[in-house]
A and B are shown apart, each in its own frame.
Chain A
Amino acid sequence: MIDIEIKDFRRRVENINSLPTIPNNLKQISKIIEDPLISLREIGDFISNDPALTTKILKMVNSAFYGFPGRISSASFATVLLGLNVIKGLLVGFSVFEVMQNTMLGLWEHSLGCAITARSIAKRRGIKDYDDVYVAGLLHDIGKIILFLEYPNEYKETMNKAKLNNFTIVEAEGDQFVADHAEVGAWLAEKWLFPRNLIEVIKYHHIPQVSKNASIETAIVHSADVFMRAKGVGFAGDPFVPELDPVAFEMLKLSETDIKEILEEMEDFMVSGKELPQ
C-alpha cells in the first residue's frame, strides 16, 4: 500500500498538468476545459488550430455512427453539433488515447466498445442525451490511466497481482492505493468541470446503486462495461468479467434480444471506430 493520505493523493492527481509523464496535448486540453468561461467558439478555434485534432473530430462526426456521413467539413460546425460537454469529453478521450496505447494496451478498445454499447443502450431506453452517455462510457476508466501515469511501477504490480491472485483490478487497486480508479477518475472529472451526471457515472460505475442523480446512466455504463468484459473487447487491467449489479441491470429492462442486438451493433461500429483516433 502506498503511504499517502487521501487528500494529498487527490491533490497529486489534480496536479496532473505538472506531471512530466503527462503528454503535452493532454496538458493543453486539460487547461482549456477546466476554464469555466470557455465558450463553444473558443473550443472550436482550439480544435481548428490543431490539424490532427480537427481530422479526428471530423472523422468522428462524419462516421456513419453519428449519422452525418461526409457532410460536416469544419471543426466549428462539429463543435456546435456535438455541444460543449460531448466535445470536451471527446477531446479528453482522444488525448488520453496515445497514453493508453503506451500504458495499458487494449484500454482504448475497451473504452470505445463501452462507449458504443452505452450509447446503444441509452438510445433503446429513450435517453435524449445519449451522446453524453457515450462520453461517460469512453471516460469511465480514465482513473486507470492517471494512476498508471502517477505510479507506473505500482500500477504494473497491481495488474500483476490481479492476474496472479484472480482478483479484479478494482480489488487489487484497493490493496495498493488509498483510492481506486473510479474515485480518481471522478476527481479529475470534477476538476475538468464535467457535468454532475458524468462525474457520478465515473465514480460509481462499479457500485451503480449508490448513484443518486444519474442512476440510469450509471446503470448503463456499468452494464456496458460488464458486456465488454464478457465479450473480451480490449483489456481493462484484469482478465475477468466483473458481476452485474442485478438491481442496476434490471433497471434497464434489456431483453435477451436487446443484448444480442447491442453486441452486434457494437461489433459493427468497432470495425470502423477502431481506426478513428489515429
Chain B
Amino acid sequence: MLKVSIDKLDPGMKLAKPVIKGNMILVNKDIELTETLIKKIQNIGISCVYIDAPTKQSISKEEALQQLDWRFKKVEDKPYMNMLKRLVREHIEGLYD
C-alpha cells in the first residue's frame, strides 16, 4: 500500500483504502481510478489516497526501528519519553503494513 498525493494520481491506479471525508465513504476501495474520478478526488479537500502498490519507505523496517532506539538513547528515562517512543514505534510499524 502506498500513500499518494492527489496531484500524482494516474488512471489505472487501484485504491487500497476507501476515500473518506469526515465519516463518509466517497469512493470504495479496490476501485480503479479514471480521469473523471481523479478530478473528483482532487476537489474534495483531501491531500492523499492509498494506492495498491508496494510501500516506498527509503529504509527497511528493522533499520527504521534501530534508528529509533538510537535517537532515543539519551532521553529514555525522562518523563513521557517512553510513551512517545512507543507511539512512534507503532506509527513506524504502521507505515510498513
Contact = CB atoms under 8 A, between A and B. Distances in A.
Partners in one complex: yes
Interface of A: 63-65, 67, 69-70, 166, 168, 226-227, 229-232, 239-244, 246, 249, 256, 259-260, 263-264, 267-269, 271-272, 275
Given A239-B71, A240-B71, A246-B79, A268 B48 contact: yes
Contact of A272 (B5, B80, B87, B95): B5
Contacts of A229: 71
B91 A231 contact: yes
Contacts of A242: 75
A249 to B, nearest CB: 6
A260 B79 CA distance: 18
Contacts of B87: 256, 259-260, 263
Interface residues of B, number: 33
Interface string B58-81: 000000100110111111001111
A243 B85 CA distance: 11
Max chain A C-beta neighbours (<10 A), residue from B68, B70, B79, B85: B79
B96 to A, nearest CB: 13
Contacts of A166: 73-74
Given A232-B67, A241-B74, A268-B3, A263 B88 contact: yes
B91 A260 contact: yes
Chain A interface, DSSP helix/strand/loop, else mixed: helix
A264 B43 contact: no
Contacts of B3: 267-268, 271
Chain B interface, DSSP helix/strand/loop, else mixed: helix
A272 B46 CA distance: 10
A59 B81 CA distance: 36
A268 B19 CA distance: 13
Contacts of A263: 87-88, 91
B47 A268 contact: yes
A268 B91 CA distance: 13
Given A227-B84, A246-B80, A260-B90, A232 B5 contact: no
Contact of A239 (B7, B43, B70, B95): B70
11 contacts: A168-B74, A227-B84, A241-B74, A244-B78, A246-B79, A246-B80, A256-B87, A264-B91, A267-B3, A267-B91, A271-B48
A226 B46 contact: no
Query: Nearest 4 CB-CB pairs, A to B?
Result: A64-B47, A272-B5, A243-B78, A246-B79
